[in-house]
A = this chain, B = another copy of it.
Amino acid sequence: MPDAILNIYVARFSIQICKFAARFFEFRPMANITKPSIPKGTRDFGALEMVRRNYIFDTVRQVFQRYGFLPIETPAMENLSTLLGKYGDEGDKLLFKILNSGDFISSAGAPLNANADKAALQICEKGLRYDLTVPFARYVVQHQAELTFPFKRYQIQPVWRADRPQKGRYREFYQCDVDVVGSNSLINEVELIQIVDEVYRKLNINVTLKLNNRKVLAGIAEAIGAAEHIVDITVAIDKLDKIGLDNVNAELQEKGLSADAIEKLQPILKMNGTRQEKFETLRNILTSETGQKGIDELQTLFAYIDALNLSLNVELDLTLARGLNYYTGAIFEVKANDVEIGSITGGGRYDNLTGIFGLDNMSGVGISFGADRIYDVMTQLNLFPDNAVARTQVLFVNFGGEDELYSMKAMSQIRAAGINAEIFPDATKMKKQMGYADKKNIPFVALCGETERLGNTLTIKNMATGEQQSLSLADAIALVKA
């Protein structure tokens, strides 16, 4: 480290430094240098991952916009008062909390509570967003005067959760949410299903969309005289495939359902046949108003889906119980047909998104695309297109002096033609420069030495075939652009 730099260290703050002038760090002696790492559950993304992730983001973004949804972004940090109590007690524990700046001990007011959860609230006012839905609800309420309802927004941002990291589960990950608020119309559900169809068609992933309705689940519970057991019933139905009918019935009994209720549930558990036959069975059993309304909604959705010739497979799935404690109508879940990975998209209708922030009667419906799982599916199925690579198309070998300047001028023209190009920064050994092109998978190398400079040509080498051609600039552009 140059001593002169150390000498001036003390004067640091006498120099006016604008906001991003401070982008480089101090050179300070460090006693211990340890190999650096990142917090567990977080990831660095290199160029290839970035390009592939952006391919997914760009695809969903384009489809969202095609359907009239507009982007918003909210801050990474929200007030804890906005976040707390929205995700259950367990969710509160999973929030990353930001320590108050300055003398957080004095500003805590009282000595810290011995209970860590309570003490945290004395010294933290802010937290990192846990999902995009609560910030969206906060946004709608805060900006309601500026918004046009029905308000259609999408949002693609990272969220943070202090979950125990494990394979496929991260503490920082992206969500891609698309929601409409301020409309009860089932067309919104239809359009979200169309969005799912179009996104996965563009990404080339074969998917099945499972559809259920919370009102139908409530209707089942009502019909068998066990309205208060809706969750137990749903959880049990959810296990039918895995544990079989007898075990499901045993579990229901254990949960306190009467023999009569269990008996009445059997026709639903054993229900099969076509979608139409299932609806008829349900119509006969679910006689409550809620149940009938749920069936109406499902049938309406299926009628739209049939009429619009969607290419994705949509299935009625009464066992689909995700989000049962907040969804009030449609429930969606999307799975990849060709990879075992769990749900890659999900969502539903919620009748009171913004009520918690004091704005009532705002029904909404939305879905969320899980970028990380979609990435995993596409990797496993090798679905990323060949052009989803971030790379330089042409490397100019650096021969120094006038040849270098000739190369740089030619390169400006090539870049102006929309081609990514770079020159090796040093006029070093040819082998090293070619090795650089090779490691970076650069498909073409331009060689401009004295001959080319005097003849006003470029020699272009195709790195895959080894073929070399002497070309005019225009022909070189045509060759490397192809």
At the interface, yes or no: A70 with Cβ under 8 Å from chain B?
yes
- If A78-B38, A97-B98, A425-B185 touch, whether A50 touches B72 (CB-CB below 8 Å) is yes
Instruction: Tell me if A324 and B18 are in contact (CB < 8 A).
Output: no
Give the one of A73, A138, A370 with max B CB within 10 A. A73
Give the one of A8, A24, A68, A173 with max B CB within 10 A. A24
A346 to B85, CA, bound (A): 44
State how many angstroms separate the Cβ of A397 from the closest Cβ of chain B.
Answer: 13
Contact with B along A344-372 (1 / 0, CB 8 A): 00111011110111100000001010100
Instruction: Tell me if A26 and B412 are in contact (CB < 8 A).
Output: no
At the interface, yes or no: A15 with Cβ under 8 Å from chain B?
yes
At the interface, yes or no: A218 with Cβ under 8 Å from chain B?
yes
Give the one of A12, A68, A405 with max B CB within 10 A. A68
At the interface, yes or no: A381 with Cβ under 8 Å from chain B?
no
At the interface, yes or no: A266 with Cβ under 8 Å from chain B?
no
- If A42-B75, A105-B112, A105-B114 touch, whether A228 touches B7 (CB-CB below 8 Å) is yes
Instruction: Tell me if A72 and B87 are in contact (CB < 8 A).
Output: no
Instruction: Tell me if B328 and A28 are in contact (CB < 8 A).
Output: no
State how many angstroms separate the Cβ of A125 from the closest Cβ of chain B.
Answer: 7
Contact with B along A193-233 (1 / 0, CB 8 A): 01000100000000000000000001000000001101110
Instruction: Tell me if B368 and A75 are in contact (CB < 8 A).
Output: no
The 8 Å CB contact of A325, one of B9, B23, B43, is: B9
State how many angstroms separate the Cβ of A463 from the closest Cβ of chain B.
Answer: 14
CB-CB < 8 A to A72: which residues of B? 44-47, 50
* Interfacial residues of chain A within 62-120, with CB under 8 A of chain B in the complex: 65-68, 70-79, 81-82, 85-88, 90-91, 93-94, 96-99, 101-106, 112, 114, 116, 119-120
Q: Indicate how many identical chains form the complex.
A: 2
The 8 Å CB contact of A25, one of B42, B86, B124, is: B86
**A contact residues, range:** 35 or more
B-contacting 9-mer, from A128-136, A271-279, A446-454, A469-477: A128-136
A92 to B208, CA, bound (A): 50
- If A116-B103, A183-B426, A425-B187 touch, whether A357 touches B70 (CB-CB below 8 Å) is no
Instruction: Tell me if B75 and A172 are in contact (CB < 8 A).
Output: yes
Instruction: Tell me if A405 and B307 are in contact (CB < 8 A).
Output: yes
CB-CB < 8 A to A124: which residues of B? 99
Instruction: Tell me if A18 and B343 are in contact (CB < 8 A).
Output: yes
State how many angstroms separate the Cβ of A76 from the closest Cβ of chain B.
Answer: 6
Q: Is the interface of A mostly helix, strand, loop or mixed?
A: mixed
State how many angstroms separate the Cβ of A335 from the closest Cβ of chain B.
Answer: 10
Q: Can you name the residue of chain B whose Cβ is closest to the Cβ of A348?
A: B24
At the interface, yes or no: A177 with Cβ under 8 Å from chain B?
yes
Instruction: Tell me if B68 and A25 are in contact (CB < 8 A).
Output: no
Instruction: Tell me if B101 and A98 are in contact (CB < 8 A).
Output: no
Q: Can you name the residue of chain B whose Cβ is closest to the Cβ of A140?
A: B36
A367 to B408, CA, bound (A): 20
A447 to B162, CA, bound (A): 50
A162 to B100, CA, bound (A): 9
CB-CB < 8 A to A88: which residues of B? 12-13, 26
CB-CB < 8 A to A76: which residues of B? 42, 76, 128, 158, 160, 172
The 8 Å CB contact of A358, one of B26, B35, B366, is: B35
At the interface, yes or no: A284 with Cβ under 8 Å from chain B?
no
CB-CB < 8 A to A24: which residues of B? 131, 133, 323, 326-327, 348, 350, 353
The 8 Å CB contact of A180, one of B17, B231, B425, is: B425
Instruction: Tell me if A23 and B116 are in contact (CB < 8 A).
Output: no
Instruction: Tell me if A87 and B425 are in contact (CB < 8 A).
Output: no
Instruction: Tell me if A141 and B36 are in contact (CB < 8 A).
Output: yes
At the interface, yes or no: A4 with Cβ under 8 Å from chain B?
yes
Instruction: Tell me if B33 and A70 are in contact (CB < 8 A).
Output: no
Contact with B along A165-185 (1 / 0, CB 8 A): 000010111010100100111
The 8 Å CB contact of A134, one of B25, B54, B65, B87, is: B25
At the interface, yes or no: A403 with Cβ under 8 Å from chain B?
no
Minimum-distance CB pairs A-B, first 3: A68-B422, A42-B75, A25-B86
Given pairs A187-B425, A188-B425, A191-B422, 17 additional interface contacts (CB within 8 A): A4-B230, A11-B325, A12-B88, A22-B91, A23-B132, A23-B323, A23-B366, A24-B133, A24-B348, A26-B85, A28-B85, A33-B357, A36-B138, A66-B418, A77-B171, A104-B116, A183-B425
Q: Can you name 27 A-B pairs with beta carbons within 8 Å?
A: A2-B328, A4-B227, A18-B346, A20-B131, A20-B175, A21-B343, A23-B131, A23-B346, A25-B133, A35-B358, A38-B74, A42-B77, A44-B72, A46-B146, A50-B70, A66-B415, A67-B420, A68-B422, A99-B124, A103-B116, A104-B116, A148-B439, A183-B426, A194-B412, A198-B415, A307-B408, A307-B409
